[in-house]
Amino acid sequence: SIMPALLSGIANGARRGILFKNGAHLERMGRVRAIAFDKTGTLTTGRIEVVSMRAVEPSTQLLLQVAAALESLSEHPIGEAIVQAVRQQNLSWTEAVNGQAKTGQGITGEIDRKTAVVGKAAFVQSQAKSPPPTLVQHSQQWEAEGNTVVWVAYGGEVLGIIAVADTVRPTAARAIAQLKRLGVEQIVMLTGDNARTAQSIAQQTGVDQFHAELLPEDKVDVIRRLQKQYQTVAMVGDGINDAPALAQASVGIAMGTAGSDAALETADVVLMADRLEHLEHAIRLGRRAQSVVK
């Protein structure tokens, strides 16, 4: 049977919208020495918008049409943002066929029997002729500013780039500072995004270290390494691609509203209101429960 101290901790958390799936998770939360955060949808709001674009040709029309045709086959939030932006320009496009999404890279397909590719620089450039150097410079500049740059190629030629961005949660930096004050030794950011964009978000939020260009299984490896050093490690995430890392973590924590079904099912704790500042309270509840149980 569950100890009264754990039960009262769980009830206290529930009143604020911090859902512990059982007492062991509450206790373990009190021992957390390192916390890893996913970037997109966790440290940021995940509401992605198109902020800039640059075509190789004078007109951006074909760039946008090809991007929209492929991204309308994708379920990635970047894809939804691009399709919406192109629709707002009242552009129509020929549908793409044979769409194939590649996790953490982008998507390929065919439009009018020519191959189209949309996604990360390396992924797109490996299937097209070299892009103009000025385009590469623009891309790097936009990434250093914290944007994610989507490359577009069609028929083996790079058509251009589209910069998308989402907003750092206004409470993220404060929540991380509070966790450090509470004695959490290491705060880590994990992302499938590129290193330049990751560095910008890392600086804005004050994490101690970040790891970029990660596939879902790479996130698991980072959690394992942290566990060797810090024993009890929490992971906070929202996406399908975070589920394996949430399962590996000593305490997996999902964002309640932003979270995908996979993240919510795998997690041990759910932050119902997506509020990062609730993590501090969750640790305090865990510590209190421990001191009573002992």
Interface ranges with ligand ADP (CB under 6 A): 39-40, 71, 74, 76, 78-79, 104-107, 118-120, 148, 150, 191-193, 239, 241
Of these partners, ligand ADP, Mg ion, none, which one is at the site of residue 280 (CB under 5 to 8 Å by kind)?
A: none
Please state the three-class secondary structure of 178-206 as a single string: HHHHCCCCEEEEECCCCHHHHHHHHHHHC
Of these partners, Mg ion, ligand ADP, none, which one is at the site of residue 256 (CB under 5 to 8 Å by kind)?
A: none
For residues 61 and 256, the answer to whether their CB atoms sit within 8 Å is: no
Query: Applying CB under 5 A, which part among 12-20, 80-88, 201-209, 234-242 lies near Mg ion?
Result: 234-242
Selecting among 38, 166, 238, 274, the annotated active-site residue is 38
Confirm or reject binding of residue 192 to Mg ion (CB under 5 A): no
Q: Is 118 helix (H, G, I), strand (E, B) or coil?
A: strand
| Amino acid, res. 72 | S
Confirm or reject binding of residue 38 to Mg ion (CB under 5 A): yes
Confirm or reject binding of residue 268 to Mg ion (CB under 5 A): no
Q: Which DSSP helix (H) or strand (E) runs through 217?
A: helix 216-230
List, in sequence order, every beta strand (DSSP E) within the chain: 18-20, 34-38, 49-55, 97-102, 106-111, 114-119, 148-154, 157-165, 186-190, 209-211, 233-237, 251-255, 269-271
Interface pick for Mg ion out of 41, 109, 160, 259 (rule CB under 5 A)? 41
Query: Applying CB under 5 A, which part among 101-109, 162-170, 236-244, 272-280 lies near Mg ion?
Result: 236-244
In the stretch 239-258, what mask flags binding to Mg ion with x, by CB under 5 A?
x-------------------
**Catalytic residue check, 268:** no
For residues 223 and 243, the answer to whether their CB atoms sit within 8 Å is: no
Q: Tell me how far apart the alpha carbons of residues 203 and 210 are, in angstroms, rounded to a whole number.
A: 10
Residues binding Mg ion (CB under 5 A): 38, 40-41, 238-239
Residues with catalytic roles: 38
